[in-house]
Amino acid sequence: MLLNQQLFATGVNNNAYFSAFTLASGPGPFPTTTVAIPSNGVLPLGGPNNNVQPRMRPTVQRLPTLDAWNATVQRQLTNTTTLEVAYVGNKGSHVFAGNGPAYDLNPVPLGPGTAIVTATGVQFTPTVPAEQRRPFYNHFVYPGFIDPATGTTMMCCADGIMGNYFGNDASANYNALQVRVDKRFSQGLQFMSTYTYSHANNFSADGNFPYGSIPDRHLSYGPDDFNRKNVWINNFVYDLPFGRGKKFAGGAGRAMDLVIGGWQLTDTMNWSSGLPWTPTVGECGLVNDTGIPCMPNVNGSFKMGAGSLDPVTHTVTYFTPVSSLTYPTASVGTDTCSLSRPTSGPFALPACGTVGNAGRNSYWGPSAFTDDLSIAKNFKISERFNAQFRMDAFNIFNHPVLDFSQNDGQATGGTCVDCGGNNGLIKDIQYGTTMRTLQFGLKLMF
pLDDT per residue as tens digits for the range 286-314: 998 887 778 999 999 999 999 898 889 88
Please state whether beta strands 11-12 and 343-344 pair in parallel, antiparallel, or not at all (unpaired). Answer: unpaired
Instruction: Determine if the peptide bond prior to 126 is cis (ω within 30°).
Output: no
Of 437 and 18, more confident: 437
Between CA 190 and CA 202 the distance in angstroms is 37
The DSSP letter of residue 261 is S
Q: In the prediction, which pLDDT does 345 show?
A: 93
Q: Are 354 and 269 in contact (CB under 8 A)?
A: no
The pLDDT value recorded for residue 342 is 92
Distance (Å, whole) CA 35 – CA 51: 14
Of the chain, the percentage scoring pLDDT greater than 70 comes to: 86
Q: Where are the beta strands (DSSP E) in 16-152?
A: 18-19, 65-76, 81-95, 113-118, 121-126, 140-146
For range 325-347, the mean pLDDT:
88
Residue 395 CA to residue 437 CA, distance in Å, equals 7
pLDDT band per the 50, 70, 90 thresholds, residue 409: very low
Q: Model confidence at 198, in pLDDT bands (50, 70, 90)?
A: very high
Contact 29, 37 (CB under 8 A): no
**Please, is 346 exposed, middle or buried when counting C-beta atoms within 10 Å of its C-beta (0-12, 13-18, 19+)?**
middle
| Residue 244 confidence (pLDDT) | 78
As a whole number of angstroms, the distance between CA 139 and CA 134 comes to: 10
| Inter-residue contact 405 to 411 (CB < 8 Å) | no
Distance CA 321, CA 332 (A): 29
> Which helix or strand (DSSP H or E) is residue 388 part of?
strand 386-394
pLDDT digits (tens, 9 = 90+) for 7-20: 777 655 555 556 77
Kindly state the average pLDDT of the residues 301-330: 89
SS3 445: strand
Candidates 67, 45, 53, 62; CA nearest to 167 is 62
Percentage of residues in the chain with pLDDT exceeding 90? Answer: 41
118-122 LR contacts (CB < 8 Å, sep 24+): 118/332, 119/332, 122/285, 122/286, 122/327, 122/336
* Higher-confidence position of 439 and 15: 439
The residue type at 440: F
Give the C-alpha separation, 288 to 205, whole Å: 20
* Euclidean distance between CA atoms 379 and 366, whole angstroms: 43
By CB neighbour count within 10 A (0-12 exposed, 13-18 middle, 19+ buried), where does 234 fall?
middle
pLDDT at residue 364 greater than cutoff 60 = yes
Q: What is the pLDDT of residues 38-81, one digit of tens each?
A: 666 666 666 656 666 677 788 888 889 999 999 999 999 999 99
HSE at residue 306, side-chain half, CA atoms within 13 A, is 22
User: What band does 196 get if pLDDT is binned at 50, 70 and 90?
Assistant: very high
pLDDT reported for residue 427: 87
**Residue 8 has what pLDDT?**
74
Asked whether the predicted pLDDT for residue 153 surpasses 70, the reply is: yes
- The pLDDT value given to residue 412: 60
**CB-facing half-sphere around the CA of 410: CA atoms within 13 A:** 14
Q: Residue 431 is which amino acid? A: Y
Q: What is the DSSP string of 314-329?
A: --EES-PPPSP--PPP
Higher model confidence: residue 45 or residue 351? 351
Q: For the ranges 53-57, 204-208, 278-282, which has the lowest average pLDDT? A: 204-208
Residue 436 has pLDDT above 80, yes or no: yes
Of 277 and 19, the one with more pLDDT: 277
Q: Decide if pLDDT at 251 tops 50.
A: yes
Closest CA to 140 of 122, 159, 164, 125: 159
User: ω into residue 101 within 30 of 0, thus cis?
Assistant: yes
If pLDDT is split at 50, 70 and 90, which confidence band does 141 have?
confident
Supply φ then ψ for residue 402, to 5 degrees. -70, 140
pLDDT tens-digit series, residues 390-403? 999 999 999 999 98
User: Mean of the per-residue pLDDT values for the chain?
Assistant: 84
Query: Do 126 and 289 meet the contact criterion of CB atoms below 8 Å apart?
Result: yes
* Position 367 pLDDT exceeds 60: yes
Flag whether pLDDT at 195 surpasses 80: yes
Strands (E), 187-319: 189-203, 221-223, 230-239, 263-272, 276-277, 297-298, 316-317
Highest averaged pLDDT of the listed ranges 222-226, 230-234, 424-428: 230-234
pLDDT at 441 over 70: yes
Average pLDDT of the residues in 132-139: 85
Q: Does the structure show a pLDDT above 90 at 363? A: yes
Residues 317, 319, 321, CA angle at the centre, nearest 5°?
115
Cα–Cα distance, 257 to 263 (Å, whole number): 10
